[in-house]
């Protein structure tokens, strides 16, 4: 009989998380460490990455930290070299950095457009190249990128951000096809409305915050830990036959057209 507990166990695995200083990145690092992985935590904010690593060590795990700019090719290359030196190899690689400037397309400046694309899309591409080369050479690994529900459904002011996230989902498919023969899996997560630093400004608009919650079939925002659990799953052998996909973690946001109503929801 298959040992299903063992499939989810990450003991002995070596994991690199870029964006580990906060939000989904930090939660993902903590989740994988809790399941036995050794972590290298990286972030543009070195102090934040070090804080995540310290929290993991305090909890009984193993972790190191360093600084890296996800949008800088040399930084990403250097990060992967440091992580390989620190960990010995990289079995799992997760990248979560992303930004959004909420503006209508007609109001965007070229500089703003370039900034969003450079971090969200180019940053993912650079990460894929650097960790992909290492994993192809070692004949195995799991790479996880961060897309969004905005890859599939949009609203005014999110077109540029959504375009980068849709591109990430397609990049995942293409890259998975290219490295699958070497035993490397490539997937993405697509979070819905999650309480993170990126979405924190929405809390200052209680009406919008509540409207977003009501758009999900569960009627609430998600926590970073709920996304991290999906990351840990994709990193594990429990997901050994999953590659080239984007896993939506959105409480049904993309499953329905408009918010649920009392008429259509079952009463307990």
**Catalytic positions, written as ranges:** 161
Name the CA dihedral angle for 124, 130, 131, 136, rounded to a multiple of 10 degrees. Answer: 120
| Number of neighbouring beta carbons within 10 Å of residue 85 | 10
Q: Which two tokens stand for residue 250?
A: 């959105």
- Conformation bin of residue 246: beta by default, left when phi > 0, alpha when psi is -120 to 50: beta
Q: To which H or E segment does residue 94 belong?
A: strand 92-95
- Conformation bin of residue 253: beta by default, left when phi > 0, alpha when psi is -120 to 50: alpha
How far CA 51 is from CA of 23, 66, 242, in Å, comes to 13, 11, 32
Strand order in the sheet with 14-18: 63-67, 38-43, 14-18, 92-95, 141-146, 184-191, 246-249
Give helix 23-34 / helix 224-235 axis angle, nearest 10°.
50
From CA 190, how far away is CA 173, in angstroms rounded? 14
Residue closest to 175 by CA, chosen among 212, 131, 209: 131
């Amino acid at each position: 009989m298959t040992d299903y507990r063992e499939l989810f166990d990450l003991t002995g695995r070596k994991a690199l998380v870029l964006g580990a200083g906060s939000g989904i990145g930090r939660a993902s690092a903590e989740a994988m460490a809790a399941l036995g992985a050794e972590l290298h935590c990286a972030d543009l904010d070195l102090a934040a990455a070090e804080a995540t690593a310290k929290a993991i060590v305090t909890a009984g795990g193993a972790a190191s930290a360093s600084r890296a700019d996800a949008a800088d090719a040399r930084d990403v290359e250097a990060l992967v070299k440091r992580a390989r030196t620190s960990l010995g190899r990289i079995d799992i690689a997760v990248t979560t950095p992303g930004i959004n400037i909420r503006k209508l397309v007609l109001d965007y400046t070229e500089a703003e457009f370039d900034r969003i694309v450079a971090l969200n899309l180019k940053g993912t591409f650079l990460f894929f190249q650097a960790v992909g080369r290492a994993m192809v050479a070692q004949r195995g690994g799991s790479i996880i990128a961060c897309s969004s529900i905005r890859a599939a459904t949009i609203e005014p002011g999110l077109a540029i951000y959504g375009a980068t996230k849709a591109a990430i989902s397609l990049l995942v498919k293409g890259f998975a096809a290219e490295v699958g023969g070497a035993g490397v899996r490539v997937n993405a997560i697509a979070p819905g409305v999650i309480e993170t630093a990126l979405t924190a400004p929405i809390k200052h608009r209680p009406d919008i915050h509540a409207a977003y919650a009501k758009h999900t079939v569960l009627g609430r925002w998600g926590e970073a830990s709920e996304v991290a659990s999906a990351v840990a799953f994709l990193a594990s052998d429990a997901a050994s036959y999953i590659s080239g996909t984007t896993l939506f973690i959105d409480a049904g946001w993309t499953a329905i057209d408009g918010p649920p109503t009392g008429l259509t929801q079952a009463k307990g």
